[in-house]
A and B are shown apart, each in its own frame.
Chain A
Amino acid sequence: MSEEKYILQMSNIVKTFPGVKALRGVELNVKPGEIHALMGENGAGKSTLVNCLAGIHNPTSGEIIYDGEKVGNYNTAQALEMGISMIHQELSPVFHRPIMENIWLGREPLNRFGFVDHKKMYEMSKEVLKEIDLDEDPKTLMVSLTVAKMQMIEIAKAVSYDSKLIIMDEPTSALTDKEVKQLFRIMRKLKDQGKSIIYISHKIEEVYEVTDKVTIYRDGQFIGTEATSNLVVSKLINMMVGRDVNEMLPKVKCPIGDIKLEIKNLTHSHLFKDISFTVKRGEILGIAGLVGSGRTEVIETVFGIRSSVSGEIFIDGKKVEINKPRDAIAHHMALLTEDRRLSGIFPMLSVRLNMVIANISTYLNKLGLVKEKMLKNECDEYVKKIQVKTPGLMQKIEKLSGGNQQKVLVARWLMTKPDILFLDEPTRGIDVGTKAEIHKIITKLAGEGKSIVMISSELPEVMGMSDRILIMHEGRVTGIVENTKDLTQEDLMAYATNTVA
């Protein structure tokens, strides 16, 4: 293999963030005119790797040889100069400006007086759009386009930079089948022009349809690169998930009681359909499925954050109406949300206020004033009970580590004395030690007869903790299985990708 044969060679790439080693010496080799898939579970390091490639991060160590030359650290602007473009999963166009201004943003063609040459910009845009067979007037406002079209404009932009390497991070997650076909056609056209595409996707069918090579990562490590056509699905899945389950806390069996919560035919306008499941007292129901499968949305709907089109919720056999989170709380439900910063913590407020916010009413005297002493004692008790490491209750929560912030949120919900707990990625971004502690707390709660629904992207966690596992794929339940000894990660992945034989 001579070096000329590759447009990109990344080797021994290490990337560490404070407290986390996201990449532990991975490689990626891409040839010109190749569509190259990156696969792996959430947190495997794919995104970090392409962010390093696109100049968003700089690798902590490692070597990047691009177009035959070794390159040092560079930023996104320099990456574009070099011919490396990235199409992000979440697009951020300037919505109320036309297509052409979006394409040439920051490098508008100027006339000799120094004013923007709109006519030239229009012509140049026409050309670029033609190159990817997109029939849109460059003067159309971005806001009037579909997500798919906006993505195509991003591709047009990449083409306008004359990029040799285009990175696409889950470009199909918001597209319809027809739009996906159109995207693939453009991808093949770019390929024929000798451009290379790095394609991140969770959708196995698509990877087989459009890519030439697959590189698989797991836990920040390089697992292997294979020609897509030579790789059977089962081997691919095995390479993605092949992790040792024993490192996880084994589930302690505890007595399981009657049905506590029952969801019947819960349907959302477009995110999920016909979701039905039950949770018993003392049971841990794991929910698995890939990001975007609708797991979080289902739980948020049950908790009253989103509204459903139809469906019923029963607690202890009685039908309940839940339209707001406070209705859910009144029914003794609790929800540890997926995104701690977005919907969990109050960053600049004290640990104490963060703990008691869902439960202040309990600490009011007859005048409606907060009984500070009682509240403080209770908080101290929970800090001790679940071992929150904080210099004091008045410490701002944002100064604690992610794991301790999560513990404060666990305390917040335990203080409401819930019967049903929804835990959405309860250990995401948390160090191993704290993770085990949180697992212990969850098991203990189940032992106390509480019903627990736990969403997790980590299959070993789901398999280590759950009594039963519900698996979702594209807004539907594809299976609810008993967590027996024979169950393998491959089985779950098959449900999650809807490729059950």
Chain B
Amino acid sequence: MTATGSSVINKIDFKQILQKYGIVFVLILMIVGISIAEPAFLSRSNIFNVLTQSSIFGIMALGLTFVIISKGIDLSVGSILALSGVVLASLGQAASATSKYFPNMGELPVFIPILAALSIGALCGGISGALIAKTKIPAFIATLGMMTIARGMALIYSDGRPISTLVPSLTALGGKIFGFIPVPVIIFFIAIGISSVLLQMTKFGKNVYAIGGNITAAEVSGVNVSKNLILIYAYSGLLAGLAAVVFAGRVGSVHPGAATGYELTAIAATTIGGTSHAGGIGTIWGAFVGALVLAVMRNGLTLIGVDAYWQQITEGVIIIVAVVIDMRKNAKKD
């Protein structure tokens, strides 16, 4: 009797684990499948390659996790990356650059362009957040507007041209340390750590869940909803600024049309990772796994020689299937 009892419990646990970590199993299956078809996938350099490829939209997905848990959306992160990026590049050009944005300026200490990128990102996000909090317009509209405005500002600022030849200390951020660990991956992991602590261990994080879970109840419970909304979008913008730093480091130049459509990839990563657009549900860990799923798929399908157009179709199917499974999981409660 005890035996049957425990086996029933095991069965339930297994089902729960499968439900909770379903997307991790999908990721493992993908990795196993791709490795069998193309063993080179599991080489150290390729693994770091995948992680590097996931870092830029992955960092954005971390910010979007906060936004989407709070039942919002942020469409502006790609444009914010471009705006922060061109400003960063203009302040971080090497003395040897042929067309200098500021012809009479010497090389600045590297923290200045980085700080500028982060501040511009946070500011743009904060403005979206303030709009959402104060005018009550839908986040979709506020950030759609910010998306267009930031892109326009990036084009005006750069006069539509890429800004290139950055100082070595900036391009080093796109390089490797010890000859094999990519710096973008390190930055990505640090951002994961900070975001995770913010979301799980601070009052701000608890308020994010509360606002997405039931905004009326949050207000009644004394949560400063306006302030938190501004912070949520400012954080999303800040991470878009950080993504701009990584972008500039990797590419070595920033053009104002950069990162077009990245916001959708970041939203996809967050969504695949189980963050619910109905609000109140989601984790940083999920966003990381979601970003990996997309990066592994893109990298793996390329390795085994799947046509790029087919990759897009696969990506779309995965996003939809992930959300369908997620919604069924949440619907089962009733």
Contact = CB atoms under 8 A, between A and B. Distances in A.
Interface of A: 303, 305, 324-326, 328-330, 335, 337, 342-349, 353, 356-358, 360-361, 364, 368-370, 372, 396, 398-399, 412
> How would you classify the secondary structure of chain B's contact residues: helix, strand, loop or mixed?
helix
A329 B219 CA distance: 11
Given A343-B217, A347-B214, A370-B201, A357 B223 contact: yes
Given A348-B280, A349-B210, A369-B197, A364 B220 contact: no
B66 interface: no
Contacts of A329: 221-222
Nearest to B206: A360
B159 to A, nearest CB: 43
B218 interface: yes
A370 B206 contact: yes
A260 to B, nearest CB: 20
A356 B330 CA distance: 24
Given A343-B214, A348-B280, A370-B202, A325 B221 contact: yes
A353 B217 contact: no
B169 interface: no
A369 B220 contact: no
Contacts of B209: 346, 349, 353
A343 B197 CA distance: 28
Contacts of A330: 222
B219 A305 contact: yes
6 contacts: A343-B214, A344-B214, A349-B209, A370-B203, A372-B201, A396-B333
A347 B213 contact: yes
Nearest to A330: B222
Given A325-B222, A346-B210, 17 more contacts: A326-B222, A326-B223, A326-B224, A329-B221, A337-B217, A337-B220, A343-B220, A346-B209, A348-B281, A349-B209, A357-B210, A357-B221, A360-B206, A364-B203, A368-B203, A369-B197, A370-B201
Interface string B233-257: 0000000000000000000000000
B202 A399 contact: no
Interface in B242-299: 276, 280-281
A325 B219 contact: yes
A276 B276 CA distance: 46
A361 B202 CA distance: 9
B216 interface: yes
Contacts of B203: 360-361, 364, 368, 370
B316 to A, nearest CB: 27
Given A370-B202, A399-B333, A346 B222 contact: no
Nearest to B224: A326
A325 B223 CA distance: 8
A343 B222 CA distance: 12
B206 A345 contact: no
